[in-house]
Structure 1
């Protein structure tokens, strides 16, 4: 019965849209009233239609993701300017877009570090994505400048910046660096640092990433925070 009603409604709507010219105003009104009556008496049709629309949107997003992941694979997973945590020779590489002022990133970050510590087959490419204000940009610049100056200190700086509750200020950023023995005034934020951040911002835009955190597998994009158990299951399926 439902399928029949949906088919009837679809045909009526198609008739109205595709054959509007031959219909006079009265006929158009009659078709509209029939469609309205059908939907009012069977509101579950709208629910089914919305569910189908969502399914189509998901499929369309997945198809777009696959196309973009293929074309931007090297930028995502093989950029030597990006910091990496975990085994450099790991079988599976995941790109991680994060912001030091993002509350959910502060939860996601330790999960990722725990995973790479426990699993030598996984490595994480860190994509600094400062989208939550000027302090986010400043923190990302300081972290990447540290990486360029001394790669061995990047991870501890990254962890200290990410572990601070709440938002950063310029003062808290400098304090985090100082705690790791780094003089922020002597760090060089040069063109390569700015370019890397801008490249990350463009890459995120191309992938439809509008917030942080975001995790990118070679075959899938996860937008938003991902629980540890779910993440481990996804990794298991790919190894």
Structure 2
């Protein structure tokens, strides 16, 4: 058995996203077919708890929408052209002993995530995105802002997200990572429910103010010690 979270958009200003842990039978292995078995098992277990339908947001999704919304595939427009969310996030990391490594912006998503400098530059201290500095706390703020900024122009995607009861990412393990594309999709829907998306994206300070309370309600903020973001 394994346990993975699914994320529900609450539309509550103080608690935008609910994380629900689901136990399900795990199929070991790294082959894509095994990953898809796990997605199906997770969704079936969640359905029994009344959570249906669920969108898997990853390259392993059976739904084209879920694949398109993977941080590996979703792109953000920048001054150096369109780059993936994954490359933008990794290339903006600042460490005690180096960074940001902005050449990562032009790498493909997999290469960006695996760049050795991200592991050998000491503790993460913040983010620098084209000169805009982002703090480590609220813990998911920079990743969420990047993702929502990239997703907001795709109005056809936003309408379709509304039809889902929850979102999952089979690759996300909360014991090892903090940021999750499925959680950010739930955050997007929650902000839309509140009519606050445009306000949240108006400025960095507005965004942080909007998500701060919710961030401290999440499991990853049980303590304020920033883990290495993966």
TMscore range, shorter length: under 0.3
Larger Rg: 1
- Structure with the higher fraction of residues in strand conformation: 2
Provide the TM-score with structure 2 as the length reference.
0.26
- Structure with the higher fraction of residues in helix conformation: 1
Provide the TM-score with structure 1 as the length reference.
0.25
